[in-house]
Structure 1
């Protein structure tokens, strides 16, 4: 008999088919756990993500639960402490989409600083370059990274290839990092031309990028966020953009998801994408493969390879 797996996030049919080779899949991306009725008694494994998460109340409805896994690196809405208290193992998809996220961060930076969407529209409307303002260079500038974990490191290397100087702010100093460390975020923002958010979400980082940080970034500074929408104070960003105290922003994540951030839609200096930096066929397949391997390990009494 196959172990029963609850999938609480939306997946394309080919990935569900992959899971069905190993598991009895309960696919319920739009249903609360409480709505699953009698099936709750049999669910041994849950596949979720950091945004959807899994609460203590949900876990209480799943008496046979043994493993909870986040599809990506984030896990901020999984109640890890409660899971541990019940002996439930928690893992994530660390490393499966790092390159994708770093690539997308660089794409957002280039698109925002060089105003690629605006220039595309202008070209389609027959406007030639002489009628357009000049946009700043990316190369040779200073880039500040908020959070120098695996993804932050990869972003730093990519931006560094543009001959940019790299600085970072992190909870702990990376002793062997070649990049300049800043002990506070406002100082990093003051130093930076570009500020890239790559820190985990959750209560500890909520509105870390606030009005003070944006003011320090300044009228020639650009913000990029590929982490979690909660890290950036949307109202403060809208106010800074309106006042011209920051130059622009490229955002893959925002507080209102899945709804677009209404307060930012009127600014042509903002580039938005729908929280897909980590998504590609290759990255999603790697995440599914890692999850299946972790589940097989756990069911065999072995340690998972990406525990939390």
Structure 2
């Protein structure tokens, strides 16, 4: 029996790759020296494509795959894809949000606690000998009883809210629509920031959310406020963030993502009131394996004629 053709823009984890190699005739675009020619040669035979959110998927690329039915993405984000063209052509998209939910939610809480308790500075205090020379580390800030604002109440946002509530925090959220959740819905993002001690951004990237955490939102969070971003760097107005942190108008930022990666703005990384991770929220062996497995499982569903496991609604991207 002839194996179906599969276009591979980005390699997957070893266990997933072994399954894909066994089930499909895999065309490795990522290894091709002339990528356009490679797509022109092999793209017409492919009903499915495997990738992650870091590779581009343009209209020109899609035009070279006229039979394409599914883009199976092993990451949560997909802002580099031409979603309007995909929606117009009826190409389905799946991603891995459920697989990475717990690790990303845990990382948001990790950044919050590390920032509020001064973990990085406290570690240096012990290692440098300042504890013996200068005495106890300065008092820090408790999170129990404080106010948590969650920006985006999708799957991961709900997990962050649940963790915040378990820590004794008062949880509110902003979303494009009221999700009818157990926590207080605040339709105005500036108001949510004003009424929060910690604001966590966990919305999708892309043009629709670019600069959503604006200068006005940052100023509303205030000089005692903490901004945590585990979404995408584009979600935050980084110039405004740097200015607010430098001037003391914002207390602290806990960041996993940046406007420029992997080389964040040195004005940001040099600030003492930042706690930083290298876009690592989902980066555990278990979660990355599970993310890759969603690609395998969604592809299997397509070719078996079954319902896709983790579809993304592209209805909002239809022109007009």
- TM-score w.r.t. the length of structure 2 is 0.88
Asked whether 1:36 is paired with 2:38, we answer yes
Secondary structure, in 3 states, of the residue corresponding to 2:47? strand
Query: Following the alignment from structure 1 to structure 2, what is the Cα–Cα distance between the partners of residues 64 and 164?
Result: 50
Is the CA contact (8 Å cut-off) linking 1:115 and 1:269 kept in structure 2? no
Is the CA contact (8 Å cut-off) linking 1:33 and 1:40 kept in structure 2? no
Report how far residue 35 of structure 1 moved.
5.2
Secondary structure, in 3 states, of the residue corresponding to 2:187? coil
Query: Following the alignment from structure 2 to structure 1, what is the Cα–Cα distance between the partners of residues 88 and 163?
Result: 41
CA deviations over 1:267-295 (Å, ceiling 9, x no partner): 12212212221232222222222221211
Query: Following the alignment from structure 1 to structure 2, what is the Cα–Cα distance between the partners of residues 35 and 116?
Result: 51
Cα 1:30/1:152, change in 2 over 3 Å: farther
Asked whether 1:143 is paired with 2:145, we answer no
Cα 1:165/1:30, change in 2 over 3 Å: farther
In structure 2, the residue matched to 1:5 is 6
In structure 2, the residue matched to 1:179 is 183
Q: Among 163, 184, 203, which residue is 1:158 paired with?
A: 163
Cα 1:145/1:7, change in 2 over 3 Å: same
Gap regions ≥5 residues in structure 1: none
- Aligned-CA RMSD value: 2.1
After superposition, where does 1:70-109 map in structure 2 within 5 Å? Answer: 70-109=73-112
Moved more, 24-33 or 244-253: 24-33
Query: Following the alignment from structure 1 to structure 2, what is the Cα–Cα distance between the partners of residues 75 and 277?
Result: 16
After superposition, where does 1:1-308 map in structure 2 within 5 Å? Answer: 1-9=2-10, 11-29=12-30, 33-34=35-36, 36=38, 38-128=41-131, 130=135, 132-175=137-180, 177-308=181-312
Is the CA contact (8 Å cut-off) linking 1:235 and 1:263 kept in structure 2? no
In structure 1, the residue matched to 2:316 is none
Cα 1:164/1:30, change in 2 over 3 Å: farther
Query: Following the alignment from structure 1 to structure 2, what is the Cα–Cα distance between the partners of residues 112 and 15?
Result: 36
Gap regions ≥5 residues in structure 2: 313-320
Query: Following the alignment from structure 2 to structure 1, what is the Cα–Cα distance between the partners of residues 31 and 261?
Result: 15
Query: Following the alignment from structure 1 to structure 2, what is the Cα–Cα distance between the partners of residues 33 and 84?
Result: 24
Report how far residue 12 of structure 1 moved.
4.3
Report how far residue 30 of structure 1 moved.
7.3
Query: Following the alignment from structure 1 to structure 2, what is the Cα–Cα distance between the partners of residues 149 and 306?
Result: 13
Is the CA contact (8 Å cut-off) linking 2:257 and 2:278 kept in structure 1? yes
Query: Following the alignment from structure 1 to structure 2, what is the Cα–Cα distance between the partners of residues 35 and 202?
Result: 28
Query: Following the alignment from structure 1 to structure 2, what is the Cα–Cα distance between the partners of residues 250 and 194?
Result: 10
Is the CA contact (8 Å cut-off) linking 1:72 and 1:96 kept in structure 2? no
Query: Following the alignment from structure 2 to structure 1, what is the Cα–Cα distance between the partners of residues 152 and 72?
Result: 23
Query: Following the alignment from structure 1 to structure 2, what is the Cα–Cα distance between the partners of residues 163 and 276?
Result: 26
- TM-score w.r.t. the length of structure 1 is 0.92
Query: Following the alignment from structure 2 to structure 1, what is the Cα–Cα distance between the partners of residues 139 and 11?
Result: 42
Q: Which structure's residues are more often helix, by fraction?
A: 2
Secondary structure, in 3 states, of the residue corresponding to 2:239? helix
Report how far residue 10 of structure 1 moved.
5.1
Is the CA contact (8 Å cut-off) linking 1:91 and 1:307 kept in structure 2? yes
